[in-house]
Amino acid sequence: MNLPHSYQVNISWRQDRVGLLSASGIPTTFEVATPPPFPGGVGRTWSPEHLFTAAVNSCFMTTFLAIAENSRLSFDAFECAAAGDLDLVEGRYRMTRVTLRPTLIIANHADEAKALRVLEKAEQACLITNSINATVSLQPTVQVTKPA
């Protein structure tokens, strides 16, 4: 695998506090908005906080699937509930914790210890979890529609 990889995601403002999220090569788009606890928040719509929590949860699942395959762990079902906590830390809002609650169904009691090890390895190897303190770089463009 050649690194680094780059993943392009686009957002276009729609109205109020709502935008449309898209990515090249992915046919599905969806709305994202400020969550209801904030002024102007929109209910029943994905928020950045949901997406942050979803990124950790989906990375955990895909990492688990890879490690389970490599470990030859047979299972019948996998589900994972995740809760992301937003808090005010030193005057700034931060996602301070993501709690993962995976449920793994296996056929053989003899595989229980192995299943727990695979789940723990997946949490430790999840690249999103390991990237949460990643650097964010801002490279803005401002366009003026009416000349001075």
Please list the pLDDT of the chain residue by residue as tens digits (148 residues): 899 999 999 999 999 999 999 999 999 999 999 999 999 999 999 999 999 999 999 999 999 999 999 999 999 999 999 999 999 999 999 999 999 999 999 999 999 999 999 999 999 999 999 999 888 899 999 898 997 7
Burial of residue 39 (CB within 10 Å: 0-12, 13-18, 19+) is exposed
For residue 1, the model assigns a pLDDT of 83
Intra-chain end-to-end CA distance of the chain, in Å: 50
Overall fold of domain 47-131: GMP Synthetase; Chain A, domain 3 (3.30.300)
Q: Which tokens go with 120?
A: 């723990």
In this prediction the pTM is 0.93
For residue 147, the model assigns a pLDDT of 78
